[in-house]
Amino acid sequence: MSSGRIQFAEQEGTFVLKFVGEIRLTLCSALDATIEQIFTALNFSAIVIDLTETRSIDSTTLGLLAKLSILSRQKVGLLPTVVTTHPDITRLLQSMGFDQVFNIVDRPLPCPECLTDLPSQDQSEDVVRAKVLEAHRILMGLNESNREAFHDLVNALERS
């Protein structure tokens, strides 16, 4: 079982998601539900994703983060901020094209005590497969390298 968790806070219109540990597919349903929740808020002013305590992050989660950025730009015209202090995580984000859809900074955030863990969500295999497919399609749309990297996976998911 994954030792990761995602924490969430909202303060005065700023939504913060903090990824702690190993962030895997098992956390994606809760993340996707929280993304939907963010865009129903009326007092929306900023989104910050804190990866300062992230050890690893899978491609499905990266796809959902890309979805978050796309929705943020479409709905409120804001580019979300990603905070990363680990060179390997920063390189991964840049290789996926995240520097085009996020402001990437290396300053940790204040107020870690404001965050609470997202609740776990049980989803059917079909629902999870649909989320994985959506996330990877979004990643493929970011750049040609991602399109090549995830083409076979997306084709396999579409056939199943």
Query: Helix (H) and strand (E) counts for the chain?
Result: 5, 6
What is the spatial distance between Cα 54 and Cα 140, in angstroms, rounded to a whole number? 23
Give the count of alpha carbons within 13 A of 53, CB side only: 12
- Strand duo 14-23 + 103-105: pairing: unpaired
Spans of the chain below 50 pLDDT: 1-2
> pLDDT for 6-26, tens place per residue?
999 888 888 999 999 999 888
Give which of 86, 82, 74, 76 is closest to 13, Cα–Cα: 76
DSSP assignment of 61-89 equals HHHHHHHHHHHHHHHH----EEE---HHH
Residue type, 111: C
Question: How high is the pLDDT of residue 13?
Answer: 82
Neighbours of 125 (CB within 10 A): 8
Question: How high is the pLDDT of residue 76?
Answer: 83
Question: How high is the pLDDT of residue 1?
Answer: 43
